[in-house]
Structure 1
Amino acid sequence: MQLFIVGLLGCSLVLSAQALYSSSDDVVELTPSNFNREVLQSDGLWLVEFYAPWCGHCKSLVPEWKKAATALKGVVKVGAVDADQHKSLGGQYDVRGFPTIKVFGANKNKPDDYQGGRTSQAIVDGALNALKALVKDRLSGKTGGSSYKQSGGGGGGGSAQDVVELTDDNFDKLVLGGDDVWMVEFFAPWCGHCKSLEPEWAAAASSVKDQTKGRVKLGAVDATVHQVLASRYGIRGFPTIKIFRKGEEPEDYQGGRSRGDIINAALDLFSDNAPPPELVEILNEESVKKTCEDSQLCVIGVLPHILDTGASGRNAYLDVMRKMADKYKKKMWGWLWAEAGAQMDLEAALGIGGFGYPAMAAINTRKMKYALMRGSFSETGIHEFLRELSVGRGSTATLGGGNMPKISSAEPWDGKDGQLPEEEEYDLSDVDLDEEFRKIEL
């Protein structure tokens, strides 16, 4: 019986350890259901910790975070997000480690990273400094982020949050006359749900613009002003979101209203409508720079020499790479390939070392980090490799010297089988072989 009771107590302790904060603390527990209302729509300053219950550093921070929250009560709001449970919320703010602390000040759509110490005193000092800066900005007339509902910016310029204000005058030219995909919100200024959506829509617009290089755009129509547009598309409630593709009838957006939901929907639209990225042969430094400079990752395949595979074998490897480039096209990565031995400095920097072809590596040219694929050069093997990298689990190393290796000039592959170099022929018609042999004997 005692063992049974101890077992129950052990279970209850494990369960209670999952929650680092309780309702009795001055730390506000934040979730996707209350984050918008509590933080984004607040006029005050927020310090928000993104944590995981299993994280040792997070557990160590708990007493200091609670003490700081109590000291700042009524002055600065202090909150906490279980980012292990609410991964979508952590993902929206690019949380990659625990604990991560963000400062939500004047512009709630673009919080600052907290860089101070982890003691209660350091946290309080950091909060008061951020509060002082917020008040100073307000005194100088800075509001910290404009609202697309009040801003101008028609003609495709968009607001400070990259939402394009659409009107009766510019809608046909921008939306219907362009090649880009559009997500358009029809709103009314007095609508409460529209006000709740505004920061999500604005933040998503900036992210979508960057991730799709402007190929998917977010717009907004004040349906109380531009009634011709609202009538044309049968708008009867607010907010209504419609998707516009060139040459197709608009469709209703049925997804969620958080910035994460909107971003994911926009990336899916981009992926559905975008061609796969070009697979570029490495011929010179310019080909690498052009392909990689605007990409988070550059995927590089080093294929066997043409004499080892022939054209059919090489094309089979290239087809695998093209299929995977298409599969991951929404990532906007660059894709390159080279023949074994053509880029020896690059191979040495990636640890390929002149053997084990075909090989693959992925390079982050901004951080000068790379990862080498250990699995098979197949759709399954490449998918596993890239999936691990995309979620931050892949093993990476620093490129030698922190710089891109030298790229040699190379001739482009002509698409044909390789040919062995012709042996040089010697004309022996004028040579007296007997005389030559006699010289050897002497």
Structure 2
Amino acid sequence: MKVVFGLVLALAASANALYTASDDVVELTASNFNKLVIQGDELWMVEFYAPWCGHCKNLAPEWKKAASALKGIVKVGAVDMDQHQSVGSPYNVRGFPTIKVFGANKNSPTDYNGQRTAQSIVDSAMSTAQQMAKDRMSGKSGSSGGKKSGGSSGGSGGKQGSKDDVVELTDSNFEDLVLNSDDLWLVEFFAPWCGHCKNLAPQWASAASELKGKVKLGALDATVHTITASKYSIRGYPSIKVFPQGKKDGEAQDYQGGRTSSDIVSHALSLYTENIDPPELVQLTSLSVLETACNDHQLCVVAVLPHILDCQSECRNKYLEILRQMGDKYKKRQWGWVWTEAGAQMAVEEAFGIGGFGYPAMAAMNSRKMKFSLLRGSFSETGINEYLRELAVGRGSTAPVKNAELPKVYDTEAWDGKDAELPVEDDIDLSDVELDDIDSIKEEL
């Protein structure tokens, strides 16, 4: 039964894949990407795709044609991001398909932005290959991270790091620096005489530099600081332990990733994003709020809620809770989230085309491209989730932001969390008014 079930799963995966073994497109995975692409000397054109993506399905036959035409000249590969998300993470793959060119400098692939036809892909690949050959003839070094790049054994696939970014841990500082810290830590337990540890050292330093500010990497000489090494039952070298974010109980998890810098970075970032706090939902009370939300993030989500007179505190808090839940669900994207009420920031509403069809409303903006996308579905968990899911994979219609700049934001007071008081009309005492007077008033009117 298990064999049959496994066969069904394999057939299902095969059916979903856009490429097969009979194609000239190389299937790249988390286990072979570093060896084939990063450590290799060849020029690679790599497509990062999702099997369900319509644009990816349209590209597939052209990609296959290009791979056949370039066979023996340029390598053409594809990464199924549904199965191997960790491969694309270091390269900020957000939408599908994304095509990267791994040329002379494997550490810094370039984006392919040409037409998605076999001819255009082949032309671009040949142009890049020709330039690589000229650079080699002139003695230029690409710092490719491949076999001839020198440095460590195994090829890092990452940028050259600094040993200073690796924290030296000891029996005396381990508890204070690691266990009493809220940071995510990856700790290598090593022995100075260990060959594998020597091979890992430059990879560890490179990863530490790339992860600086997010994840801390440390190293502890287990032959000297035996108390800590014994506590974590270190028997072989190198041993890598993971100490999760937040308050720690002293327990550690075994590191399950690869040992190249790109593998370490990818695994660490995956752990980091799983445990980060959800984004703060901030009321749009000044321009600085919008700048922080939009300029410091890939996307900023702007919600315009009904005016407090039309939607009192209970109503408003329900909408705010939906926004917080969506922020938590998409926290790995690290978007900015702001809200305002109808009429408070008219320039913002005009810039994003909000208004005219009721509130609440929502838009998401990419401040680098000065483009936005408008929520056209329901302002509900389901509607917003569908909208954000499309944005997360690079789909959905967009429009240019008015004047191609951040809209004007007026300084306003933050909501106090209370209901608004309806304006009170003055009562007119008519007890002393004669009926004849009322009739005369009516006649005048």
The answer, yes or no, to whether TM exceeds 0.5 is: yes
- 1:81 match: secondary structure: strand
Counterpart residue number, 2:413: 411
Counterpart residue number, 2:75: 78
Counterpart residue number, 2:108: 110
C-alpha deviation, 1:94, in angstroms: 3.9
Distance in 2 between residues matched to 1:255 and 1:224, nearest whole Å: 23
C-alpha deviation, 1:35, in angstroms: 2.2
For the structure 1 residues 58 and 130, does the alpha-carbon distance in structure 2 shift closer, same or farther, using more than 3 Å as the test? farther
Distance in 2 between residues matched to 1:350 and 1:417, nearest whole Å: 28
**Quick check: 1:58–1:98 contact (8 Å CA) kept in 2?**
no
Indicate yes or no: 2:253 matched with 1:252: yes
Pairs within 5 Å for 1:292-303: 292-303=294-305
For the structure 1 residues 290 and 261, does the alpha-carbon distance in structure 2 shift closer, same or farther, using more than 3 Å as the test? closer
C-alpha deviation, 1:340, in angstroms: 0.6
Distance in 2 between residues matched to 1:386 and 1:191, nearest whole Å: 48
For the structure 1 residues 396 and 185, does the alpha-carbon distance in structure 2 shift closer, same or farther, using more than 3 Å as the test? farther
For the structure 1 residues 229 and 112, does the alpha-carbon distance in structure 2 shift closer, same or farther, using more than 3 Å as the test? farther
**How much is the aligned-residue C-alpha RMSD, in angstroms?**
4.6
Read off the aligned partner of 1:233 and give its amino acid letter: Y
For the structure 1 residues 294 and 219, does the alpha-carbon distance in structure 2 shift closer, same or farther, using more than 3 Å as the test? farther
Distance in 1 between residues matched to 2:404 and 2:152, nearest whole Å: 41
Superposed CA deviations along residues 197-235 of structure 1, whole A, max 9, x for unmatched, are: 975x677656655xxxx3433344465676665345321
Read off the aligned partner of 2:233 and give its amino acid letter: G
For the structure 1 residues 295 and 94, does the alpha-carbon distance in structure 2 shift closer, same or farther, using more than 3 Å as the test? closer
Indicate yes or no: 2:30 matched with 1:32: yes
Distance in 2 between residues matched to 1:145 and 1:228, nearest whole Å: 36
Superposed CA deviations along residues 286-333 of structure 1, whole A, max 9, x for unmatched, are: 221233321222222211111112222222222222333333333322
C-alpha deviation, 1:146, in angstroms: 7.2
C-alpha deviation, 1:58, in angstroms: 4.7
Distance in 2 between residues matched to 1:61 and 1:325, nearest whole Å: 36
For the structure 1 residues 307 and 188, does the alpha-carbon distance in structure 2 shift closer, same or farther, using more than 3 Å as the test? same
Task: Identify unmatched segments of 5+ residues in structure 1.
Answer: 1-13, 150-157
- Taking structure 2 as the reference length, the TM-score comes to 0.71
- 2:312 match: secondary structure: helix
Distance in 1 between residues matched to 2:248 and 2:89, nearest whole Å: 34
Distance in 2 between residues matched to 1:295 and 1:193, nearest whole Å: 37
Counterpart residue number, 2:4: none
Counterpart residue number, 1:46: 43
Counterpart residue number, 1:377: 379
Pairs within 5 Å for 1:196-215: 209=212, 214-215=213-214
Counterpart residue number, 1:242: 241
Pairs within 5 Å for 1:163-312: 164-168=166-170, 171-187=174-190, 190=194, 195=199, 209=212, 214-221=213-220, 223=222, 229-245=228-244, 246-253=247-254, 255-257=256-258, 258=263, 260-268=266-274, 270-271=275-276, 274=277, 276-312=278-314
Q: Which has the higher contact order (CA 8 A, sep 6+)?
A: 2
- 1:306 match: secondary structure: coil
- 1:299 match: secondary structure: strand
- 2:235 match: secondary structure: coil
Read off the aligned partner of 1:48 and give its amino acid letter: M
For the structure 1 residues 390 and 231, does the alpha-carbon distance in structure 2 shift closer, same or farther, using more than 3 Å as the test? same
Read off the aligned partner of 2:38 and give its amino acid letter: L
Read off the aligned partner of 1:83 and give its amino acid letter: D
- Taking structure 1 as the reference length, the TM-score comes to 0.71
For the structure 1 residues 166 and 46, does the alpha-carbon distance in structure 2 shift closer, same or farther, using more than 3 Å as the test? farther
Task: Identify unmatched segments of 5+ residues in structure 2.
Answer: 1-13, 155-159, 431-435
For the structure 1 residues 101 and 326, does the alpha-carbon distance in structure 2 shift closer, same or farther, using more than 3 Å as the test? closer
Read off the aligned partner of 1:357 and give its amino acid letter: Y
Distance in 2 between residues matched to 1:408 and 1:128, nearest whole Å: 54
Distance in 2 between residues matched to 1:390 and 1:221, nearest whole Å: 39
Distance in 2 between residues matched to 1:220 and 1:277, nearest whole Å: 31
- 1:305 match: secondary structure: coil
Counterpart residue number, 1:3: none
Superposed CA deviations along residues 358-401 of structure 1, whole A, max 9, x for unmatched, are: 11222222222222222332333333322332222333322122
C-alpha deviation, 1:346, in angstroms: 1.1
- 1:50 match: secondary structure: strand
Superposed CA deviations along residues 173-217 of structure 1, whole A, max 9, x for unmatched, are: 542453322122335685559958975x677656655xxxx3433
Counterpart residue number, 2:361: 359
Read off the aligned partner of 1:413 and give its amino acid letter: W
More deviation in 170-179 or 350-359?
A: 170-179
For the structure 1 residues 68 and 314, does the alpha-carbon distance in structure 2 shift closer, same or farther, using more than 3 Å as the test? closer
Superposed CA deviations along residues 11-56 of structure 1, whole A, max 9, x for unmatched, are: xxx98x9547759x6x7654333222233334x3432332669645
**Paired-residue identity, %:** 43
Distance in 2 between residues matched to 1:58 and 1:162, nearest whole Å: 45
Distance in 1 between residues matched to 2:174 and 2:150, nearest whole Å: 25
Read off the aligned partner of 1:35 and give its amino acid letter: F
Counterpart residue number, 2:337: 335
For the structure 1 residues 55 and 310, does the alpha-carbon distance in structure 2 shift closer, same or farther, using more than 3 Å as the test? closer
For the structure 1 residues 41 and 227, does the alpha-carbon distance in structure 2 shift closer, same or farther, using more than 3 Å as the test? farther
For the structure 1 residues 327 and 227, does the alpha-carbon distance in structure 2 shift closer, same or farther, using more than 3 Å as the test? same
